[in-house]
């Protein structure tokens, strides 16, 4: 076992246990904190996959924004989030069966695929030595996001989507002012 | 070295745990947490496929960034809906929100 494999296995175990706690914990504040742990594990996987920028974005966007938003929502709806209610609905048995069945079907279908045991090739760019590789990849990513030959339209659409989500969530969550009858 | 299969199996497990959360939880916020887990599993798959099958291009990372943006928009609107429903009905249990049930 190489050190990388050991790191992978530890991170995978922590992430999956935290994910299980997210979907089974009665107390939603605890579930949200386990969600933070699970998202952090995913950030470690991005580092292992040599996508360091995505790891940083994962920490900022998911842990810094989305998880905190979740905790705020849990606290604003505090009464129902308390521990005395049952967390799972009456379909929980079926849900577990479907999830486990889907997992086994996925693993069986993937193991039949010839590329399943592919090893990663060395990450390289022509004319760039390994010390500058991270910066070169980041520059390439940024150029692809704003280049008309690549992804400028999805990039602009994403910005419009975020603006629409911002305005939409403001409108939806705005407190209704009582009109006189 | 780590083969691609490890990442794929891990992502499948994370996706299925998230799916269980979406199907089995009562609380609407907990359902959104399950959706977040599923989106993360998809992101790991996208980046793993980029790293193992097409590392000479950068497109896999661009797809992952799009997923980040859509996830942020989704969770903002979703939580606004939950808070709006809570304000009107004083519940966020998904099986009690049945105003549109015929």
Q: Span A37-58, mean pLDDT?
A: 92
Summarize the confidence of residues A13-23 as an average pLDDT. Answer: 93
Place of tokens 């000479």: B56
Predicted confidence at residue A87, as pLDDT, reads 64
Nearest CA in chain B to A137: B58
Place A80 in a pLDDT band, splitting at 50, 70 and 90.
Answer: low
- Helix/strand/coil for B27: strand
Contacts of B37 in chain A (CB under 8 A): 19, 22-23, 35, 38
CA distance B1 to B5: 11
What percent of chain A stands above pLDDT 70?
Answer: 91
Residue at B94 is within a domain: no
Select from A70, A72, A172 the Cβ nearest to the Cβ of B84.
A172
Q: Is residue B56 part of a domain?
A: yes
A99-103, A159-163, B26-30: the lowest-pLDDT one: B26-30
Beta carbons of B10 and A12 less than 8 angstroms apart: yes
B64 alpha-carbon distance from chain centroid: 13
The answer to whether residue B91 neighbours chain A at the CB level (below 8 Å) is: yes
Q: Measured between beta carbons, which residues in chain A are less than 8 angstroms from residue B61?
A: 51, 53-54, 141
In a domain, residue B36? The reply is yes
Confidence of residue A179 (pLDDT cuts 50, 70, 90): low
The band of A85, judged by pLDDT with boundaries at 50, 70 and 90, is low
All residues of chain B having their beta carbon less than 8 Å from the beta carbon of residue A22 are 17, 21, 30, 33-34, 37
Rounded average pLDDT over A38-53: 91
Q: What is the arithmetic mean of pLDDT over A87-101? A: 83
Residues A95 and A42: their CA atoms lie apart, in Å, by 24
Decide if B41 is inside a domain.
Answer: yes
Domain-located, residue B55 = yes
Q: pTM for the complete prediction?
A: 0.89
**pLDDT at residue A88 is higher than 60:** yes
For A4, the token pair is: 């990388």
Across residues A119-147, what is the average pLDDT? 82
Cα(A166)–Cα(B80) distance, integer angstroms:
10
Chain A residues closer than 8 Å to B25 by CB: 23, 87-89
CA distance B97 to B35: 19
d(CA A173, CA A157): 24
- What average pLDDT does the structure give for chain A? 85
pLDDT digits (tens, 9 = 90+) for B67-76: 999 999 999 9
Q: What pLDDT is attached to residue A153?
A: 92
How far apart (Å, rounded) are the C-alpha atoms in residues A108 and B38? 20
Longest dimension (CA), chain B: 56
**Structure-block tokens of residue A125:** 């760019």
Does residue B35 form part of some domain? yes
Q: What is the ipTM of this complex?
A: 0.90
- Structural domain for B66, as ranges: 26-89
A77 and B29: CB-CB below 8 Å?
yes
Q: Are B57 and A149 in contact (CB under 8 A)?
A: no
Mutate to test the interface with B, among A22, A34, A49 (most CBs of B within 10 A): A49
Question: How many CA atoms within 13 Å lie on the side-chain side of B82?
Answer: 29
Report yes or no on B78 lying in a domain.
Answer: yes
Q: How many domains does chain B have?
A: 1
Q: Cα(B69)–Cα(B74) distance, rounded to whole angstroms?
A: 9
Tell me the mean pLDDT in the region B48-64.
88
Contacts of B32 in chain A (CB under 8 A): 70
pLDDT band at A41 (very low <50, low <70, confident <90, very high): very high
Q: What is the CATH number of the domain that holds B83?
A: 1.10.287.3510
Kindly report the nearest CA distance between residue A179 and chain B, in angstroms.
16
Inside any domain, residue B19: no
Q: Measuring CA to CA, which residue among B42, B71, B82, B9 is closest to residue A169?
A: B82
Query: By CA distance, what is B37's nearest residue in A?
Result: A19
- Angle, nearest 10°, between helix axes A28-48 and B28-53? 10
User: What is the separation of C-alpha B81 from the centre of its chain, rounded to a whole number of angstroms?
Assistant: 17
pLDDT value at B100 more than 60? yes
């Amino acid at each position: 076992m190489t050190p990388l494999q050991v790191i992978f296995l530890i991170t995978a175990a922590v992430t999956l246990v935290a994910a299980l706690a997210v979907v089974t914990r009665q107390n939603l504040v605890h579930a949200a904190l386990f969600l933070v742990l699970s998202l952090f594990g995913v950030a470690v996987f991005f580092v292992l996959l040599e996508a360091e920028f995505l790891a940083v974005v994962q920490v900022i966007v998911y842990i810094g924004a989305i998880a905190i938003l979740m905790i705020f929502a849990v606290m604003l709806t505090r009464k129902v989030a308390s521990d005395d209610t049952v967390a799972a609905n009456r379909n929980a048995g079926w849900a577990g069966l479907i999830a486990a069945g889907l997992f086994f079907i996925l693993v069986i279908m993937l193991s039949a695929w010839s590329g399943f045991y592919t090893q990663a090739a060395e990450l390289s760019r022509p004319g760039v030595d390994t010390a500058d590789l991270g910066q070169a990849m980041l520059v390439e990513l940024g150029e692809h996001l704003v280049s008309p030959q690549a992804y400028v339209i999805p990039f602009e659409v994403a910005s419009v989507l975020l603006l629409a989500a911002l305005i939409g969530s403001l409108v939806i969550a705005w407190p209704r002012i009582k009109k006189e009858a | 070295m780590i083969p691609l299969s490890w990442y794929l199996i891990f992502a499948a497990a994370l996706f299925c745990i998230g799916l269980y959360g979406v199907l089995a939880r009562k609380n609407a916020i907990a359902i959104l947490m399950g959706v977040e887990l599923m989106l993360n599993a998809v992101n790991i798959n996208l980046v793993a496929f980029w790293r193992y099958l097409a590392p000479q291009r950068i497109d896999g990372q661009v797809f992952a960034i799009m997923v980040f943006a859509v996830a942020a928009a989704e969770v903002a609107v979703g939580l606004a809906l939950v808070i709006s429903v809570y304000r009107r009905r004083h519940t966020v249990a998904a099986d009690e929100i049945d105003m549109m049930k015929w």
